[in-house]
Structure 1
């Protein structure tokens, strides 16, 4: 158990850390592909008058499936044992608890109070493979609408187009997974 909080300045540092913890190349490839979707979301949000922590989103995506180090079967089969296990693993190794929480919130966003950044991690984790979850997308747009002080439906059209563009390349990303 680490008593000191680790700081990660880059996603590359986070990937190296995951490898030190035993992450497989398949897991690293997965978080990189989700990271591609996250970068597209981040780029879109930078066009809006909204303040958010892009670094947190990037690192949250890098760490969101850390529990699959302990539950590698969930790399190829459905399951959520990796969620709490990942959070605990990261905290035990000195990762900031709010960042480690992305291990749970990316899969439990419906039942947890999540930050915008956590919702973006969850959204990137669905869009990367071409999946759309309207409830999650609605939550993100509602949060953005309030932060930007823009009409929900005006923002919906803009963000829905962004989400669709990211999802439309899901097959390409899946073929590289």
Structure 2
């Protein structure tokens, strides 16, 4: 039975709910309530990015469900390293990947726990979307990361890099404008039960 604090973090009004599979996994792992709230916020932003991408760039093939699962689980390693919920650290990345594998999640979906903080030109567009959602949910903009996304969109669409940049910048600005509400939602939920 999940703690009342975790249940609230998973069900309180606010960002879209997590996929059932992820909510059940967080309950099974007795995840910190703050982590569940954070994952909801990032998942919500990833949903908005995926919606925009499907509408504005239907020519770019990407796995929506994998992207949303990745956003919903990217920091799951913080169940093992809860100190990283309130402080710096990257131990949760490999720990999250291993934790997901131990729970029967295949490597293709578990990878986001490792790739969300260290992106490169050779990762999939899904990884770039998860990484972008993990930044812009709190209104943080990362030029190098966004440029990788612009490059993918430009190659797929045939539009000029400037056109693609302006459209992406616009949607990220709109998402970032709601960061205070997402931050307040996360802060309402305790790190520990």
1:104 pairs with 2:127: no
TM-score, normalised to structure 2, is 0.83
Flag structure 2 segments of 5+ consecutive residues without an equivalent.
Answer: 1-17, 187-193
1:92 pairs with 2:102: yes
1:127 pairs with 2:136: yes
Query: How far 1:17 moved relative to its partner?
Result: 1.1
1:31 pairs with 2:31: no
Distance across 1 between alignment mates of 2:135 and 2:20: 22
Contact 1:129 1:167 (8 Å CA) reproduced? yes
1:137 to 146, 169, 188: 146
Distance across 2 between alignment mates of 1:144 and 1:78: 32
Q: 1:138-158: per-residue Cα shift (whole Å, max 9, x none)?
A: 111111111222221111111
1:12 pairs with 2:11: no
1:43 to 25, 32, 51: 51
Contact 1:15 1:62 (8 Å CA) reproduced? no
Distance across 1 between alignment mates of 2:165 and 2:25: 37
Contact 1:119 1:140 (8 Å CA) reproduced? yes
Distance across 2 between alignment mates of 1:52 and 1:150: 18
Query: How far 1:21 moved relative to its partner?
Result: 1.9
Runs of 4+ in 1 over 4 A off after TM superposition: none
Q: What residue in structure 2 maps to residue 74 of structure 1?
A: 84
Name which of structure 1's ranges 140-149 and 53-62 shifts more when overlaid on structure 2: 140-149
Distance across 2 between alignment mates of 1:19 and 1:168: 31
1:176 pairs with 2:185: yes
After superposition, the CA RMSD in angstroms is: 1.3
2:61 alignment partner, SS class:
coil
TM-score, normalised to structure 1, is 0.90
Q: What residue in structure 1 maps to residue 172 of structure 2?
A: 163
Flag structure 1 segments of 5+ consecutive residues without an equivalent.
Answer: 1-9
Distance across 2 between alignment mates of 1:171 and 1:105: 26
Q: 1:73-132: per-residue Cα shift (whole Å, max 9, x none)?
A: 11111110100010011111110101111011001114x731000110010000001110
